[in-house]
């Protein structure tokens, strides 16, 4: 897999949030032109993107803010059993410390932190703009 893409309204805020989670900004760019619309099927597309990667460099997250055409649907607050995008899960070293930092940036815990057997501590949070994000701390 090359990357996971998420459309946001506040690109700067999303970058700051995911930096707090440990991702690093690779770069920002404007994506526009006839070729871009041919890929997505959106004529006149202008999108500002930010590419971020995990500290180990193995996973990437592409954040996109559409300038044109306007956003036509909003799935950010869909419940976890909605069809389509569910969440992005991040491995963290210390789930409690990570939650503390992210809550200061506006994250909200969806349920509670739970223990899955003797393997993981897990939780879901609502991050920037209500995006559903999973956190997993391997135990042991």
- What's 54's domain CATH number? 3.10.180.10
CA gap 59, 79 in Å, rounded? 25
For residue 65, give the nearest of 35, 30, 20, 38 by alpha carbon: 30
pLDDT (tens digit per residue) in 44-102: 999 999 999 999 999 999 999 999 998 888 877 777 777 777 789 999 999 999 999 99
How many domains are there within the chain?
Answer: 2
On average, the pLDDT of the chain sits at 92
Q: What torsion, rounded to 10 degrees, do the Cα atoms 108, 8, 93, 84 define?
A: 90
Average pLDDT over residues 116-140: 93
Rg (CA), the chain: 16
Is 103 domain-assigned? yes
Residue 92 lies in a domain: yes
What is the reported pTM?
0.89
Q: Is residue 64 part of a domain?
A: yes
Residue 97 dihedral angles phi and psi, to the nearest 5°: -65, -40
Q: Are 116 and 140 in contact (CB under 8 A)?
A: no
């Amino acid at each position: 897999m090359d990357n996971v893409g998420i459309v946001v309204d506040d690109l700067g805020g999303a970058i700051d949030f995911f930096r707090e989670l440990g991702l690093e900004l690779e770069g920002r760019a404007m994506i526009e032109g006839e070729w871009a619309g041919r890929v997505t099927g959106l004529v006149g597309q202008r999108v500002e993107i930010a590419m971020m990667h995990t500290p180990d460099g193995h996973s990437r997250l592409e954040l996109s803010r559409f300038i044109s055409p306007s956003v036509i649907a909003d799935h950010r607050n869909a419940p976890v059993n909605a069809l389509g995008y569910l969440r992005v899960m991040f491995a963290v070293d210390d789930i409690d410390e990570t939650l503390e930092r992210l809550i200061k940036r506006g994250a909200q815990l969806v349920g509670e932190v739970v223990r899955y057997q003797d393997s993981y501590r897990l939780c879901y949070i609502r991050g920037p703009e209500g995006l559903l994000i999973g956190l997993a701390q391997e135990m042991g």
